[in-house]
Homo-oligomer: A and B are copies of this chain.
């Protein structure tokens, strides 16, 4: 099953469909056509049908798509109920904020351990979990199968520990806030980089070039 290669462009649109379908569902709507969904999302109906047909025929000719069913299908494709076993590495400002404000369970992740190297934090409870010493991470990963990590540590920390994370801990997915380029050394793991700085600079460019928009 599921052997066809799907382009990054398509995959990146899936969460957006998921989000729109969710809000439509909440309004009580039952069905929607690709053209109406396209209208609402500001994209083309062709694109929607092409995207969905990468994964199968979820619609019905003459009718459209059942909103609830379609959302469920996309959720299944994305794996939102997989509960991937995940550790948070780095419980500083950002790590704490993410731990507290994101509904990981609804996005396919299950946080099972939180680690930091700062002694003062050990034992503090976040999201119902105690902050542990980063020194215990390898042991923890040997005892618990860990799928993914949220990396809220500085560049240098990431660079120094990536071998341990990938090779010793066996972690295969990284939500990476560290700016360290993990895929350069380990192209085989899944990495989702979040570059706040890049995002900000892009915004700056756009603001100062608003005149040439569209």
Contact = CB atoms under 8 A, between A and B. Distances in A.
A175 interface: yes
B213 A188 contact: yes
Integer count of this chain's copies in the complex: 2
Given A173-B203, A196-B102, A203-B192, A208 B15 contact: no
11 contacts: A5-B212, A14-B202, A15-B195, A19-B197, A80-B204, A93-B96, A102-B197, A108-B201, A109-B204, A147-B207, A173-B210
A147 B147 CA distance: 42
Given A107-B204, A207-B147, A198 B80 contact: no
Contacts of A203: 148, 173-175, 190-192
A104 interface: yes
Given A187-B214, A197-B107, A205 B78 contact: yes
**Which interface residue of A2, A107, A188 has the most chain B CB atoms within 10 A?**
A107
A82 interface: yes
Given A97-B97, A172-B210, A80 B201 contact: yes
Interface residues of A, number: 66
Closest 10 CB pairs of A and B: A108-B204, A190-B206, A173-B207, A15-B198, A192-B203, A15-B201, A107-B200, A97-B97, A79-B204, A79-B208
A3 interface: yes
A175 B200 contact: yes
B100 A93 contact: yes
A94 interface: yes
Nearest to A106: B197
A62 to B, nearest CB: 29
